[in-house]
């Protein structure tokens, strides 16, 4: 009887542990398909036939429509350049350049990948509407409070992410093709 209970307990523990690990593994980006460019994470094969099982499971589970590799590249950051989680109580400056692309956008997302509501109804910036310095460099200030220049509001308290999308880019999404110095820096300038 005790042996039976032990076996039952073992199976329950195994099942529970397996599901827990799976839920954790499928909540982020695929462990086999995430190239890092500074704080930016690129899922190189999400938009191709070569997507690994983890990438496919993550895509299917979240309901997202992946950007095809031929259309563009999506880069996501959850931390600043120093590796600290992005936090609504801080101010970040993002810039001054992005990797080569015909168009790009920088948007703020919540942990599930959705835009965050804010009073300015500003969810992101397009390369075609941004204020730039004479040399073409730019700074986007990510902050909860109103900022001069390109202000990307943080609409809700807590953690958030930044999504950089490069459309019609000559770069492949494969690791190493995107130069660290070409990706925008995310610098924490102040915290409450």
Q: Residues interacting with other proteins, by CB under 8 A?
A: 2, 6-7, 9-11, 13-19, 21-22, 25-26, 47-49, 51, 53-54, 56-57, 59-72, 74, 102-103, 105, 107, 109, 112-117, 123-124, 126, 128-129, 155, 163, 165, 167-168
Q: What three-state secondary structure class fits 10?
A: helix
Q: What three-state secondary structure class fits 18?
A: helix
Q: How far is the CB of 21 from other proteins (least distance, A)?
A: 5
Query: Checking DSSP bridges between strand 161-167 and strand 72-77, what pairing results, if any?
Result: antiparallel
Q: Please check whether residue 109 is in contact with residue 164, taking contact to mean a CB–CB distance below 8 angstroms.
A: no
Q: How far is the CB of 47 from other proteins (least distance, A)?
A: 5
Q: How far is the CB of 161 from other proteins (least distance, A)?
A: 10
Among all chains, which residue has been given the structure tokens 């076996």? Answer: 7
Read off φ and ψ for residue 21, nearest 5 degrees: -60, -40
Q: In the complex with other proteins, which residue's Cβ is closer, 131 or 190?
A: 131
Percent helix / strand / coil, the chain, rounded to 5: 20, 30, 55
Q: In the complex with other proteins, which residue's Cβ is closer, 94 or 109?
A: 109
Q: In the complex with other proteins, which residue's Cβ is closer, 22 or 133?
A: 22
Query: Checking DSSP bridges between strand 140-143 and strand 103-109, what pairing results, if any?
Result: unpaired
Q: How far is the CB of 130 from other proteins (least distance, A)?
A: 11
Q: How far is the CB of 149 from other proteins (least distance, A)?
A: 17
Q: In the complex with other proteins, which residue's Cβ is closer, 103 or 181?
A: 103
Q: In the complex with other proteins, which residue's Cβ is closer, 116 or 187?
A: 116
Q: In the complex with other proteins, which residue's Cβ is closer, 51 or 90?
A: 51
Among all chains, which residue has been given the structure tokens 């938009």? Answer: 47
Q: How far is the CB of 137 from other proteins (least distance, A)?
A: 20
Partners of residue 36 on adjacent β-strands:
41
d(CA 174, CA 73): 10
d(CA 102, CA 111): 28
């Amino acid at each position: 009887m005790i042996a039976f209970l032990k076996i039952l307990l073992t199976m329950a523990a195994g099942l529970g542990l397996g599901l827990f690990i799976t839920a954790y593994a499928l909540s982020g980006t695929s462990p086999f398909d995430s190239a890092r460019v500074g704080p930016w994470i690129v899922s190189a094969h999400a938009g191709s036939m070569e997507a690994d099982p983890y990438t496919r499971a993550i895509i299917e589970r979240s309901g997202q429509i992946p950007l095809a590799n031929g259309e563009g590249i999506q880069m996501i950051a959850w931390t600043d350049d120093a590796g600290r989680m992005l936090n609504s109580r801080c101010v970040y400056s993002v810039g001054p350049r992005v990797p080569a692309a015909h168009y790009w956008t920088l948007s703020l997302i919540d942990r599930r990948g959705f835009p965050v509501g804010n009073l300015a109804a500003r969810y992101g910036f397009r390369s075609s509407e941004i204020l730039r310095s004479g040399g073409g460099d730019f700074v986007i200030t990510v902050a909860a409070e109103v900022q001069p220049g390109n202000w990307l509001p943080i609409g809700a308290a807590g953690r958030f992410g930044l999504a950089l999308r490069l459309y019609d880019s000559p770069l492949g999404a494969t690791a190493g093709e995107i130069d660290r110095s070409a990706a925008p820096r995310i610098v924490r300038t102040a915290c409450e």
